[in-house]
């Protein structure tokens, strides 16, 4: 098991601290197909499920301060949890692999922290195990009670938002970009305007605003499709 996950990490040049160093997660349909093959004993499908979820390990490790252990060590331990998750996952239970794997990865990391605590003193749930990226102290109870969420979906959402920001500035003209910003409250938290309100502000007809919005959305959709097909 240990040599297996070390081989996976070595294949990516030791760049384990960066999410972008790992392959993109599988789509829901791709994951379903690989899981089916994995249950039938397909080793390549099993390995791909592991490799395409390494971003999940890196993401979870970011919750913990490196402390006395560097990120490579923590990702090595987290990858053991990921491998265990892939080998024991039951798709018939109706949850995503990422949700199940996140628990296994967390458990593996917590086992490490607990074993180290036991060598020095008794473990208390309120004991600090490090801090998050904002500098807030994290205790065992914080991690145990962490809200269950699909981490893969969160990562994909963040990637799509980065793409959207790039496409807005490259494929849209100034008028299209302004209308999309106003219609959808960009940046996040800004007021969302109706087409009629935008028409009044820009001194154009509502139907013209509608045409510009549809054209802009079509451009953005095309940009996404072209990226996915490359």
The pLDDT score that the predictor gives to residue 57 is 86
SS3 of 146-165: the string is CCCCCHHHHHHHHHHHHHHH
Do 177 and 131 lie in one domain? The reply is no
The yes-or-no verdict on residue 176 having pLDDT over 60 is yes
Average pLDDT rounded to a whole number, residues 3-29: 57
Cα 79 to chain centroid distance, Å, stands at 16
User: CA 113, 87, 21, 96 torsion: positive or negative?
Assistant: negative
Give the number of domains in the chain. 2
Do 195 and 142 lie in one domain? The reply is no
User: CA 91, 94, 99, 105 torsion: positive or negative?
Assistant: negative
Domain boundary among 112, 147, 182: 147
For the entire predicted model, the pTM comes to 0.47
**What backbone torsions phi and psi does residue 229 show, to the nearest 5 degrees?**
-90, -5
Helix (H, G, I), strand (E, B) or coil at 138: strand
- Does a structural domain hold residue 46? yes
| CA 158/CA 121 separation, integer angstroms | 40
- Does a structural domain hold residue 157? no
Segment of 24-28, 62-66, 176-180 carrying the highest mean pLDDT: 176-180
User: CA 117, 148, 102, 92 torsion: positive or negative?
Assistant: positive
The yes-or-no verdict on residue 200 having pLDDT over 70 is yes
**What backbone torsions phi and psi does residue 96 show, to the nearest 5 degrees?**
-75, 150
Using an 8 Å Cβ cutoff, are 179 and 171 in contact?
no
The yes-or-no verdict on residue 209 having pLDDT over 70 is yes
The pLDDT score that the predictor gives to residue 192 is 87
- CATH code (residue 44): 1.20.120
CA atoms within 13 A of residue 57's CA, in its CB half-sphere = 34
Structural domain for 212, as ranges: 171-228
- Quickly state the pLDDT bin for 205 (edges 50, 70, 90): very high
């Amino acid at each position: 098991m240990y040599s297996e996950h070390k081989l996976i990490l070595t294949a990516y040049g030791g760049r384990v601290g960066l999410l972008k160093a790992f392959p993109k997660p599988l789509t829901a349909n791709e994951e379903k197909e690989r899981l089916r093959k994995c249950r039938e004993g397909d080793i390549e499908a099993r390995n791909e499920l592991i490799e395409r979820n390494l971003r999940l390990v890196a993401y979870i490790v970011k919750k913990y301060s490196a402390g006395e252990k560097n990120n490579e060590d923590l990702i090595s331990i987290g990858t053991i949890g990921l491998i265990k998750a892939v080998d024991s996952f039951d798709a018939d239970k109706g949850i995503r692999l990422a949700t199940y794997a996140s628990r296994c990865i967390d458990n593996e990391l917590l086992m490490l922290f607990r074993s180290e605590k036991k060598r020095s003193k008794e473990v208390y749930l309120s004991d600090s195990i490090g801090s998050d990226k904002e500098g807030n102290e994290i205790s065992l109870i914080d991690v145990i009670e962490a809200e269950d969420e699909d981490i893969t979906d969160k990562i994909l959402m963040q990637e799509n938002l980065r793409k959207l920001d790039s496409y807005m500035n490259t494929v849209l003209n100034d008028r299209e970009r302004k209308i999309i910003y106003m219609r959808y409250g960009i940046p996040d938290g800004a007021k969302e305007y109706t087409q009629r309100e935008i028409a009044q502000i820009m001194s154009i007809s509502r139907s013209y605003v509608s045409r510009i919005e549809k054209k802009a959305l079509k451009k953005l959709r095309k940009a996404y499709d072209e990226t996915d097909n490359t």
